[in-house]
Amino acid sequence: MNSFSTLFNEVYKILFLLIPVLVTVALIVWLDRRVWAFVQKRKGPNVVGPFGLLQSLADALKYIFKEIIIPASSNKVIFILAPIITMTLALVAWAVIPFSEKLVLANINVGILYLFAVSSLGVYGIIMGGWASNSKYPFLGAIRSAAQMVSYEVSIGVIIINVLLCVGSLNLNDIVLAQQNMWFILPLFPMFVIFFISALAETNRPPFDLPEAEAELVAGYQTEYSGMMYAMFWLGEYANILLMCAMGAILFLGGWLPPIDNDFFSSVPSPFWLIFKILLLFILFALVKAIVPRYRYDQLMKLGWKIFLPFSLIWVVLTAGYLLYFNLLPVQ
């Protein structure tokens, strides 16, 4: 009976985390469209529900009732598994995101490594979907995505090293608490900018949406997908975008910490501040999509390997040298 109660509690915790994440994904799609509309001086979603808030629900119902078509020449098992893997990995990563000092599903000592590993695995779902479709456009999109995500994972990894040098811990709670006096966005501002741009490339967001560029590849790795299987790719993509925004908020913007440490700001519940920062970063994601034109593929690779990687490596050396010279290296 005790083991059943423990299992029930764990399932309850998981659902308590996943259901709000899925609901938030639906809401940020609405926010995404509203931001684009604002930039382009049009209304955006405004018919289905108040202010168009139920438009995402209507789209979800449409995907649920649409027929799922599996190409006759595809590898059917891998074709079906690909969107499931993509969505599952995007949701599993949220297990270590701390919304306050105690409000976290799994407070593990290597939380940042867990996030880095799970987000890196996300490319497998895209590769599987593109290859299993047995079609040239999905295959080209999958190959592009593999090269792109590997390239910018390297930059993100080096950027994280800068933060770890300042903290001396891989635990996400420790990273947030180390920013009580100063958020890392101030001393590491160039790294924040590179992290933000790399996150755009990592999540296949414009101007780096080359794996699904409609002008060249129809819809890239998603071309042969329809119905709920297409929606699962879509859910995984937006859950990954929110995850990258959460990582940016935790690494550089103080996580759940208030912007000013006084009675008024401290009285606001801690999860509110993290959610607010995630939404702020997401609005920046949406603005970039509405404003910046798409890069060419060679420009994308040049930016990652010839500019971001050398610059972030130099910054690691400068950060380590500064901390060592002024005897500021953290002691655990």
CA dist 279 and 299 (Å) reads 29
The span from the CA of 165 to the CA of 187, in Å, is 12
- Whether 11 is in a domain gets the answer no
Residue 315 has pLDDT above 70, yes or no: yes
Highest mean pLDDT, choosing among 117-121, 136-140, 225-229, 282-286: 282-286
Dist CA 1 CA 22 (whole Å): 31
| Residue 55 included in any domain | no
What value does the mean pLDDT of the chain take? 85
Residue-wise DSSP of 20-31? HHHHHHHHHHHH
Structure-token pair, residue 325: 């010279």
- Average pLDDT score over residue span 144-172: 87
- Residue 248's pLDDT band, with cuts at 50, 70 and 90, is very high
Quick one: how far is CA 116 from the chain centroid?
11
Residue 187 lies in a domain: yes
**Amino acid 318: pLDDT:** 92
- Per-residue pLDDT for 253 more than 80? yes
| 127/131 Cα distance (integer angstroms) | 6
Q: What pLDDT score was predicted for residue 4?
A: 67
Our count of domains for the chain comes to 1
Q: What local confidence, expressed as pLDDT, does residue 313 receive? A: 92
For the chain, how big is the Rg over CA atoms in Å?
21
Residue 260 Cα distances to 89, 188, 189, 293, 298, angstroms: 35, 19, 19, 37, 43
Percent of the chain predicted with pLDDT > 70: 95
| Residue 175 · residue 112 · CB < 8 Å | yes
- Alpha-carbon distance of 232 to 205, in angstroms, equals 17
User: Residues near 122 by Cβ (< 8 Å), separated by ≥ 6?
Assistant: 86, 89, 90, 149, 236, 240
Over 70: is that where the pLDDT of 286 sits?
yes
Give the pLDDT score at 195: 93
Q: How far apart are CA 25 and CA 88, in angstroms?
A: 14
Taking the C-alpha atoms of residue 29 and residue 42, their distance in angstroms, rounded to an integer, is 16
The confidence band for 282, taking pLDDT boundaries of 50, 70 and 90, is very high
Has residue 146 got a pLDDT over 60?
yes
Separation of alpha carbons 45 and 242, rounded Å: 21
How far apart, in whole angstroms, are the C-alpha atoms of residue 239 and residue 140? 24
Q: Is 308 a member of any domain? A: yes
| Angle at alpha carbon of residue 280, lines to 279 and 286, rounded to 5° | 85
pLDDT confidence tier of residue 190, bands split at 50, 70 and 90: very high
pLDDT in tens, 45-71: 888 888 888 888 888 888 888 888 888
Distance between CA 84 and CA 236 in Å, rounded? 9
Cβ neighbours of residue 31 under 8 Å, at least 6 residues apart?
A: 279, 282, 283, 286
* Per-residue model confidence (pLDDT) at position 206: 79
Contacts of 282 (CB under 8 A, 6+ apart): 28, 31, 32, 241, 242, 245
Backbone angles phi and psi of 75, in degrees to 5? -85, 100
Model pLDDT, residue 281: 92
Report the percent of the chain where pLDDT is more than 90: 13
DSSP state of 72: T
Looking at residue 214, its pLDDT comes to 67
Phi, psi of 230 (to 5 degrees): -65, -40
Q: Phi and psi dihedrals of 161, rounded to 5?
A: -60, -40
Residue 231 in this model has a pLDDT that exceeds 80? yes
Residue 129 maps to a domain: yes
- Does residue 50 form part of some domain? no
pLDDT band with cut points at 50, 70 and 90 for residue 106? confident
Q: Structure tokens of 9?
A: 């509690």
Phi first, then psi, for residue 208 (nearest 5°) are: -115, 30
| pLDDT recorded at residue 125 | 85
pLDDT of residue 185: 92
| pTM tops 0.85 | yes
Structural domain that includes position 250? 68-325
Whether 35 maps to a domain, the answer reads no
Residue 300 to residues 13, 41, 221, 286, Cα–Cα distance (Å): 40, 29, 18, 19
Domain presence at residue 43:
no
Under the banding of pLDDT at 50, 70 and 90, the label for residue 215 is low
